[in-house]
Amino acid sequence: MEQAGSRVVVIDVLRACSTMIYALSQGCKVIHPCDTVSKAKDLFRQKVKSLGKDGVLLGGERGGVRVRGFHLGNSPEEYSSDAVRGRAVIFTTTNCTRNLTAVRSPKEVIICSFVNLHTVVEYLSKEDADVLLALSGTDGQMSLEDAVCGGMLINMLSDRREVVLSDSARTAHVLYLHYRRNIRQALLDSSHGKRLLELGFKDDIGFCAGVGKYEIIPRHVRGRVVC
């Protein structure tokens, strides 16, 4: 996907963007998103040669659960300072990293979820460039939680600068207005949230519903996510 002149904001509330934001806030040096498990394993082997075994971790999920043989799954709190500080993470998830590696922008690609939303909005409000929201969704379908997050971004940005909305942006905004008093409920109502609950990831839902906890803006630049 390429949008000439636009800043692209990739949103995946549950859970990959929230996890990447948390990992980088905890001192992770760089995240390398990969679209497939085999590419992640290949890249890991290469990086071990240059960074050593202690310098790099393999993280991610398929079907919500940690890939067999990986050090970390896709629960944000696994990426604590103790685990990731000073290290590179090779990261692959079912939807988000695949979408992320497909997005191109001549301006920039920004990683966003509720947990860094305020900082992203402050940044976007300083410039007039078009903004394209790329909602990760689930298996090619729209996800309620990503739409509500996009809608909240639109709501906050429209207080700070002029915005002209497409129909899909307007739809996301209306969904946000519905959930504005209880963001966590949007995550609980979503099919993705329900699946994570069944898998035992209740704490992740609480974490990912925490609005504006981290003041960082990760960017995807030439295959690397960095702050």
Binding positions for ligand 3SL, rule: CB under 6 A? 12, 14-16, 61, 64, 74, 93-96, 136, 196
Nearer to ligand 3SL, 61 or 78 (CB): 61
Q: 211 by DSSP, 3-state: which?
A: coil
For ligand 3SL, which is the closer residue by CB, 50 or 141? 141
Nearest to 86 by CA among 46, 44, 56, 129: 56
Q: Which is nearer to ligand 3SL, 12 or 78 (CB)?
A: 12
Q: Which of 84, 83, 191, 96 is nearest to 134 (CA)?
A: 96
State the nearest-atom distance from the C-beta of 137 to ligand 3SL, in Å: 9
Cβ 94 to ligand 3SL shortest distance, Å: 4
What is the closest distance, in whole angstroms, from the C-beta atom of residue 170 to ligand 3SL in the complex? 25
Residue 116 beta carbon to ligand 3SL: minimum distance, rounded to whole angstroms: 16
- Looking at the Cβ atoms of 95 and 156, the one nearer to ligand 3SL is 95
Pick the closer one to ligand 3SL by CB: 137 or 151. 137
Give the N- to C-terminal CA distance of the chain in Å, as an integer: 22
Alpha helices, DSSP H, located in the chain: 16-25, 37-51, 81-84, 96-102, 117-125, 144-158, 167-179, 183-189, 191-198, 202-208
Q: Least Å distance between CB 68 and ligand 3SL? A: 15
How are the residues of the chain apportioned to helix, strand and coil, as percentages rounded to the nearest 5? 45, 20, 35
